[in-house]
Amino acid sequence: MVDMSPRKSAVEARGTRDRIVARGMALASVDGLEGLTIGRLAADLGMSKAGVLGHFGTKQALQLAALRTASEVFTRTVWRPVEHLEPGLTRLRALFGTWADYLETERDSFPGGCLFTTASIEFDARGGPVRDFVARLFTAWRRRLAGEVRTAVAHGDLPADTDPEQVAFEVFGVFFALNQEIHLFGAADAVARTRRALDRVLAG
């Protein structure tokens, strides 16, 4: 007998939704969130447009779902491996390593590079929920970086006059450049250059 229980139906629906979002993330990393169309997703997944749209209702809801899931991938790949380390310079340097690994190795999830980098460029001059969501994610991440720098200063691992916000600002610039070096130029020495740049940032 086929199990038609509500629980199984909910699990299947969740699985379908996850497949849609995963494919959406991959497409958006290449074509941008505005290039994320219901028709393209339906064709790629062998679904009807109505079947895809039924899980989200609007294109914007799909865009936001892709960003939320991308945030979970980022957290799992970049933050979780280092969160148990001593706060401050030790964790900050380890974080730089996992962040670089994320940009280099997450090609299945983001074949076109970091989705947040793509979205920040695509939506920085626009208003609306997608732009606001991206800005909140970047703001939260920058605060975390500044907090790690502040702790490193308190521990005496960085000079007392170090400006945590400035360090976080410069680190963001370095990783934006790394994403571009990997995906636009295919630079084999991109990570090595990034490490040298980060050493200079921390040296003040």
pLDDT category at 28 given cuts 50, 70, 90 is: very high
Q: For residues 81 and 126, what is the distance between their CA atoms, to the nearest angstrom?
A: 34
Q: For residues 63 and 46, what is the distance between their CA atoms, to the nearest angstrom?
A: 20
CB 103 within 8 A of CB 175: yes
| Fold held by 63-203 | Tetracycline Repressor; domain 2 (1.10.357)
Residue 1 has pLDDT above 80, yes or no: no
The pLDDT assigned to 7 comes to 58
Provide the whole-model pTM: 0.89
The pLDDT assigned to 6 comes to 59
The pLDDT assigned to 185 comes to 95
